[in-house]
Structures are given as C-alpha cells and as structure tokens.
Amino acid sequence: MNAIAHPSDQLPIPQVAFVLCGALAREVVAIVQRHGWDVALFGVAAQDHMVPQRIGPDVERRLRELIPRFDRVVVVYGDCGTSGQLDAVLERYNVPRIAGPHCYEMYAGARFDGIMQEEPGTFFLTDFLVRSFEGTILKGMGLDRFPELRATYFANYRRLVYLVQRAAPALEEKAHHIAQVLGLPLEVRATGYGDLEARLVALMAEIAQPHYQPRLAELMPVAEPAPQRPARVRRTARRPKTVEDV
C-alpha cells in the first residue's frame, strides 16, 4: 500500500475511498495515479446535476455502503447547486469534501472570479462536457427534441469558455463545433487540474487525523407524499326518454 503523507508517522495509514462526481472521474483517476495514492474510487452519476436534489441522497447511499468498509471516505464534489443539502448530509456522517462550489471554480482557481467579472453571461465547458455534449447538454436539456428552446435557454449567455484540463486537438475542435451549435463565441483557457488537484493533495495530507473518522448516521426520514384526493366524478342527471328517443 502506498503511503499517504500525513504529519505524524505514528498514525496508521487508513484505507481511503473517494466518492466522486462522474464528471470528474478521468481527472481524479489521473491525479490519484500521479500521486501514487492507494484509494478506491466510487462514482455517482454526472446526470444528477440536471436535478441537483438527487446529489445528496445518491451520495448518502454511497456513504452507507462504504463507511463500514473503509477507514476514511472523501467526497470529491462541489456544492453543485444543492444549496447546502450535500454538506448537511456529509456533516451527519463526518465525511469531508474538497472545497468549492463547482468544478469550474475548482479548475479555474483564483481566475474564476475574474472570468465571471469580465462577463457574467459565461457558459462553461470542461473536457467532460465537451466529450459528453450530446448526452449531457443536448439530451439532458431536451434540445435534441426541442431545438427551438436553445434561444430561450441561452438567451442570457454571451460567450462560451472552455476550461481545458488536458490539451487535445479533437476536443478543441469539438468545442468550436459546440460554440456554433449554441451560437456563442468561444474562448479556450488552459487550466490543467487546477485547485481540484491542490485541494485533494491538501486533504490527503491530513486524512489520517482522527477527526476525519466517519460515522454511520441514521437515515433521514423521507417525507411521504401527501395522499391524493380521489378525482371527483361529475355526475349529470339522465334525461328521461321521450317518444323521439325510441
């Protein structure tokens, strides 16, 4: 087992599992290999971003599966539109996640705020989004069936910024095609793994500390849907037959 750097040599090396967003899978695998970490990787579907309320419950299912099997669990996610719901789940299980609201900020790092100040109407692409554009954006947003919605969905966007993790001519060419499809000018900015890698390295350096010991929490009760009232059947009086009806 490869050693994970930590402040005290007296601390045992824990068995670590990563619960990660499917949109970060390639990048996290590359980071893990670069640093020689002996960790197990478990994904959560990237499609959950289309309905962020699914992220917390789906991550929680992974935590309940993994906490009995591993000494430490790390969640590799941003808040990703859950409005704090994901962090509330992680607090109950005492499981850390890397800092950041979403992967765009993680990749761009300190440059992200500047990009947004330059143009608030910026739509972002990553390597993952370029590769999966047809399924994630076109199909996920229903544009494959209703292409006329493009003008509505992207009415407030003024440019497309492709944050490049690993330079690949084929991906950049596809990004230009995506820009044409969306009707937006394209800017390409190389970021590498940015703060995603830096924050993972910092967290792994101290993950053996006792305060990262996860706990198996009680499942939050799921609100039962309100019972539906039976549909009212409108009854109409039957007209008595007349001679003309016979």
Question: CATH 3.40.50 region(s) of the chain?
Answer: 1-101+195-220
Kindly state the average pLDDT of the residues 91-103. Answer: 97
Whether pLDDT at 15 is above 50: yes
CATH for the stretch 1-101+195-220: 3.40.50
pLDDT value of residue 13: 76
pLDDT band at 7 (very low <50, low <70, confident <90, very high): very low
Instruction: Measure the CA–CA gap between 107 and 17, rounded to whole angstroms.
Output: 22
Whether pLDDT at 8 is above 50: no
pLDDT band at 29 (very low <50, low <70, confident <90, very high): very high
Long-range contacts formed by 180-185: CB under 8 A, 24+ apart: 181/150, 182/123, 182/150, 182/154, 182/157, 183/150, 183/154, 184/123, 184/154, 184/157, 184/158, 184/159, 184/160, 185/158, 185/159, 185/160
Give the model confidence (pLDDT) of 186-235 as tens digits: 999 999 999 999 999 999 999 999 999 999 988 766 544 455 555 454 44
Indicate the pTM of the whole model.
0.82
- 186 sits in the region (left: phi over 0; alpha: psi -120 to 50; else beta) called beta
Instruction: Measure the CA–CA gap between 137 and 163, rounded to whole angstroms.
Output: 16
| Higher-confidence position of 99 and 238 | 99
Give the model confidence (pLDDT) of 121-177 as tens digits: 999 999 999 999 999 999 989 999 999 999 999 999 999 999 999 999 999 999 999
